[in-house]
Amino acid sequence: MIDREALTNCPLCDAGSDKARRLPKFSKDHLVRCGSCKFVYSLLIPNDEDYARVYGNYNYAAEDESRTDLNILKEREIASRLARYRQTGKVLDMAAGAGRFLVHFRDLGFTIYATEFSEKMCLYLEAKGITTYRGGLFPEGAEPGSFDVVVFTEIIEHINNPIPVLTEINRLLRPGGCVYITTPNFASLERRLIGPTWGMLMWPEHITYWSPRHLDLALGKTGFRRSRLTTQNISPYRIVQALKRGRMSSVLSDVSEQGFSDTAQEKVAGSKLLSTAKKLVNFGLGASGTGSGITAIYEKA
C-alpha cells in the first residue's frame, strides 16, 4: 500500500490546508472546510490503488442498460435547450462515460466529441461513432476555441484540481460558448437531514463538495459568467434509506423503499396531481438553493 498524501492547499482559493477546519462528523470522507473560502473538500488525496479499486471495474455498458424512458426524455430536453448555443456545431462531453448524453446532440445535428481516461472506454465510445480524445480532462488534440458546448456532468466532485480543469474547458470553448455542469449539492436540505451517511459522501470517488456559491466562485475565477443555476430533486428514497440505517430505523422499518424507486418516480411523472406536487416541492428547494443536485450553465465571458 502506497502512503496517501494530504492536500496542502484549498482546491478552490489556494489557502493553506493548515488553516482549514476538520469536520469530525464527516471524518470517514476526510472532510475539511477551508478557513478562507469555506469550501468543503477531502484532505486526503486518494492514491493509484484507491482509484484502481473504484474505477478499475466500472461497468459502462451497465450505465447504458440502466437508462429509463424518463432519463432519456430528460436528457433529450436538456440537449434541445443547449442547442441554442449552436454556431460551430461541436459538442464535447468531458469524461463522457458511455456517451449516453451525447447521442441526443447528434440527433440534433451536432458533431459529437468525447474524452475518457481508459483506453477501453475510449474504444467503447469510438464504437458508437463518437470522436474520442485521449487524455481525460485535458483532451489531447482537441481544437481550442472550437466547441459550442462542453458537457461536464457529475465530474467536478471527483476532482481536486477544479481550477486547471475549468480553465482548460474555457480554452476549448468558442467565445460565448457554454459549459453545462451538474453536481450534488452539499448545501442541500437532503444532505443536512441525512448528515454523514448522505449517499453522495463517497471518498475516494467524491473528493470536493459543491454549493451554488462555490460553483460561482470557481467559474468566476476561470473566465465564465453564470447564465443559469438551479437546484432540484429531493430524493425521498435516499432520505428513507439513510434514516433506516440510523436512529430512525425502528420507526421506518415498514416504509417500503421500493415505493420511492425509479418506477415510482415514473408513475409520479405520469400523474398530473403528483407531478404538480413534486414540482412545487422542487420549486421551493430550487428557489432556496437547497435542492439535492445543482444544474448550471456558465458562458465563456
Q: Does 39 bind Zn ion (CB under 5 A)?
A: yes
- Shortest Cβ distance from residue 23 to Zn ion (Å)? 14
The distance of closest approach from Cβ of residue 232 to Zn ion in the complex, given in angstroms and rounded to an integer, is 26
Q: Find out whether 33 and 23 touch, Cβ atoms under 8 Å.
A: yes
Under the criterion CB under 5 A, does residue 12 sit at the interface with Zn ion?
yes
Looking at the Cβ atoms of 174 and 206, the one nearer to Zn ion is 206
Interface residue with Zn ion among 4, 9, 37, 241 (CB under 5 A) is: 37
Number of residues that bind Zn ion (CB under 5 A): 8
At residue 27, φ and ψ (nearest 5 deg) are -70, -25
Would you say 37 or 269 has its CB closer to Zn ion?
37
Q: Indicate the residue among 19 and 120 with the shorter CB distance to Zn ion.
A: 19
**What distances in angstroms separate CA 265 from CA 100, 175, 176, 262, one per listed residue?**
20, 39, 36, 5
Check binding of 85 to Zn ion (CB under 5 A).
Answer: no
Binding Zn ion (rule: CB under 5 A), the pick from 7, 31, 32, 34 is 34
- Span of 15-23, 126-134, 165-173, 291-299 interacting with Zn ion by CB under 5 A: 15-23
Question: Among residues 19 and 53, whose Cβ is nearest to Zn ion?
Answer: 19
Helix or strand holding residue 78 (H, E)? helix 69-82
Check binding of 146 to Zn ion (CB under 5 A): no
Told to check if 13 binds Zn ion by CB under 5 A, we report yes
Judge residue 13's burial from the number of C-beta atoms within 10 Å of its C-beta, 0-12 exposed, 13-18 middle, 19 or more buried: middle
If binding is defined by CB under 5 A, does position 36 make contact with Zn ion? yes
Which stretches of 18-59 are DSSP H helices? 48-55
Stretch that binds Zn ion, among 3-11, 45-53, 75-83, 183-191 (CB under 5 A): 3-11
Residue closer to Zn ion (CB basis): 12 or 79: 12
Long-range pairs of 108-114 with CB within 8 A, sequence gap ≥ 24: 108/79, 108/80, 108/83, 110/83, 110/86, 110/148, 113/142, 113/147
∠ Cα 164 169 170 (to 5°)? 95
The three-state (H, E, C) secondary structure of 237-267, written as one string:
HHHHHHHHHCCCHHHHCCCCCHHHCHHHHHH
Amino acid at 296: A
> Is 54 in contact with 118 (CB distance < 8 Å)?
no
| Among positions 7, 10, 173, 194, the unique one binding Zn ion when judged by CB under 5 A | 10
Q: How far is the CB of 167 from Zn ion (least distance, A)?
A: 17
| Candidate segments 11-19, 71-79, 98-106, 156-164, binder of Zn ion by CB under 5 A | 11-19
Given a contact cutoff of 8 angstroms between Cβ atoms, the answer to whether 188 and 231 are in contact is yes
Which spans of this chain sit near Zn ion (rule: CB under 5 A)?
10, 12-13, 15, 34, 36-37, 39
